[in-house]
Amino acid sequence: MATTVSNKKKMSTRTQMLLTGALTITLGFAVTIGVLSWQSSNEQKSLR
């Protein structure tokens, strides 16, 4: 546990920003795909 804390302190601000940006984009992408598939499944159910 102590090693992970010291590693996080050593991480540069640029690295943190890049990781945060990548995480945000990935989460947004996953949420968008989830919402679209949910909408399309609802649409298919209403068509039958």
Q: What is Dmax (Cα atoms) for the chain?
A: 57
Residue boundaries of the structural domains of the chain = 2-47
Give residue 6's pLDDT: 58
In angstroms, the CA 10 to CA 19 distance is: 14
For the record, the structure tokens of 42 come out as 């609802």
In this predicted model, what pLDDT tens digit does every residue of 5-23 receive, in sequence order?
555 567 899 999 999 999 9
DSSP state of 11: S
Structure tokens at 32: 């968008």
Query: For the chain, how many residues are written?
Result: 48
Is 0.85 topped by the overall pTM? no
